[in-house]
């Protein structure tokens, strides 16, 4: 991207706006059987034949567990402000209850100190889908007890790191675990419960609320929030079934997770979607008050809009077909007017503004300051790097989405007045991309998974330029 374009975008960034990059533990750490780490739901799921594209194994991933210093140097080299990482629950508490694993805590203790030594602000995510396996075998997030155990883990993390972590994310995308993990079976734990998976949504949200209480009780100095994925939802046609199913999908993808947290109530359910009820007889009257605990910020992950068509659809790109996928009452229709990422996701930065506008419209004064905690895309790239990798499509993607977000909250934008405080790129390095294995590359840094060599791409240097340029006067184009 020409320097003038970088300077122009940099001129739009407020002086106190946070630029960062994000990762998650299971996708980069490897070392699955080292130093007392317990197994997680994803360890067991990934070992099943055929569930990971090309049979990719997460056993080594990026070997971040042994190369964290090198990776932190890469983050620091960008000149960004912050690093979002996650703590692997089973690394610090192998069974998800009971004894702590000091070697696991020591790893994250060193990691946080390494961030601070490099001038990086830590954002710690407590849960990014890797449930300790012992808890999963006892019901996982379908069981209320998991929410209680999660609060105990959050309290210990707050006790140990509360003086150094600037921002805490309780859960990452509870919608993804509920739908992909418990409803459709394409992610861990691989259950195919369809609408019977919805108690997992409630228990995750309850775990979030209890974790907020635990962190506050630990007197952490950092801010506390949650991260949800949001997608603007529209029907594929004017037909009544597409309209009803789009309304149901909006509840299922967006409002089921945001309304309880921000408004203290579950959304009204469209008449043909009454099964979209996450509560059951184990729900207590005061659960919603716990879930509705005041937050310091709200995390938004935006990737693409959702066009809804009635009836089951094709299997999502990069995952194995499951019986549950063939039983769904609606599916994501294609948006042929847009170019797509390597995952086949439509590249539609304007909908980033739509998402922010919907948050403003729906939640108003109840919406706390917002951080876009993930923004990024995969594109086809070679497995080995031969000099500079010119990932121009990623540069264009990131620049357009950041600009759209900043314009949306600016004067005359659909989300004018929303307090947007930061933007985190997903992700630092190419990694283990869940069911897609190593076939989808999101990184600013190329990973050669045979040698583990890291090679910054053009997008890395673009973000580096942007981070530097925001501190200088803009130049004319």
Active site residues: 173, 374
Residue 180 is labelled as binding a ligand: no
128 is in an annotated binding site: yes
The vertex-167 CA angle with 303 and 219, nearest 5°, equals 145
Binding residue per annotation — 423?
no
434 belongs to an annotated ligand binding site = yes
Q: Is 303 annotated as belonging to a binding site?
A: yes
433 is annotated as contributing to ligand binding: yes
The reply, when asked if residue 243 is annotated as ligand binding, is no
Which residues does the annotation place in the binding site for substrate?
27, 128, 172, 303, 426, 433-434
Which residues does the annotation place in the binding site?
27, 128, 172, 303, 426, 433-434
């Amino acid at each position: 991207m020409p320097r003038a374009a970088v300077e122009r975008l940099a001129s739009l960034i407020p002086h106190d706006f946070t630029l960062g990059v994000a990762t998650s533990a299971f996708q980069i750490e490897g070392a699955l059987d080292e130093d007392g780490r317990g197994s997680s739901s994803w360890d067991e799921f990934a070992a099943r034949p055929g569930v990971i594209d090309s049979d990719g194994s997460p056993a080594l991933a990026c070997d971040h567990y042994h190369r964290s210093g090198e990776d932190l140097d890469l983050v620091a080299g960008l000149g960004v402000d912050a690093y979002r990482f996650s703590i692997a629950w089973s690394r610090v508490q192998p069974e998800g209850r009971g004894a702590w694993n000091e070697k696991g805590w020591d790893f994250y203790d060193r990691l946080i100190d390494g961030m601070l030594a490099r001038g990086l602000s830590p954002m710690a995510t407590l849960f990014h889908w890797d449930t300790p396996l012992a808890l999963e075998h006892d019901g996982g997030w379908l069981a209320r007890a998991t929410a209680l155990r999660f609060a105990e883990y959050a309290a210990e993390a707050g006790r140990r790191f509360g003086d150094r972590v600037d921002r805490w994310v309780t859960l990452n995308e509870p919608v993804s675990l509920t739908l992909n993990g418990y409803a459709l079976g394409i992610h861990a734990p691989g259950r195919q419960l369809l609408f019977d998976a919805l108690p997992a949504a409630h228990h995750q949200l309850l775990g979030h609320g209890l974790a907020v209480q635990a962190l506050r009780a630990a007197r952490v100095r950092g801010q506390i929030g949650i991260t949800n994925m949001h997608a603007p939802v529209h029907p594929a046609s004017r037909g009544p079934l597409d309209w009803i199913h789009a309304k149901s999908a909006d509840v299922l993808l967006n409002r089921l997770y945001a309304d309880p947290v921000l408004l203290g109530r579950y959304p009204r359910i469209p008449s043909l979607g009454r099964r979209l009820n996450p509560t059951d007889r184990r729900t207590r009257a005061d659960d919603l008050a716990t879930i509705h605990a005041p937050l310091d910020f709200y995390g938004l992950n935006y990737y693409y809009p959702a066009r809804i068509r009635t009836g089951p659809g094709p299997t999502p790109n990069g995952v194995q077909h499951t019986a549950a996928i063939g039983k769904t009452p609606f599916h994501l229709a294609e948006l042929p007017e847009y170019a797509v990422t390597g995952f086949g996701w439509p590249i539609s930065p304007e909908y980033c503004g739509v998402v922010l506008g919907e948050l403003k419209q729906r939640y108003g004064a109840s919406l706390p300051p917002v951080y876009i905690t993930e923004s990024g895309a995969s594109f086809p790239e070679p497995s080995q790097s031969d000099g500079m990798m010119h990932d121009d499509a990623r540069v264009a993607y990131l620049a357009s989405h950041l600009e759209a977000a900043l314009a949306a909250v600016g004067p005359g934008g659909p989300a004018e007045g929303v307090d947007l405080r930061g933007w985190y790129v997903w992700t630092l390095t190419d990694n283990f991309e869940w069911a897609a294995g190593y076939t989808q590359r999101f990184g600013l840094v190329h990973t050669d998974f045979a040698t583990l060599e890291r090679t910054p791409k053009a997008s890395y240097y673009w973000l580096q330029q942007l981070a530097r340029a925001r501190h200088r006067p803009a130049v004319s184009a």
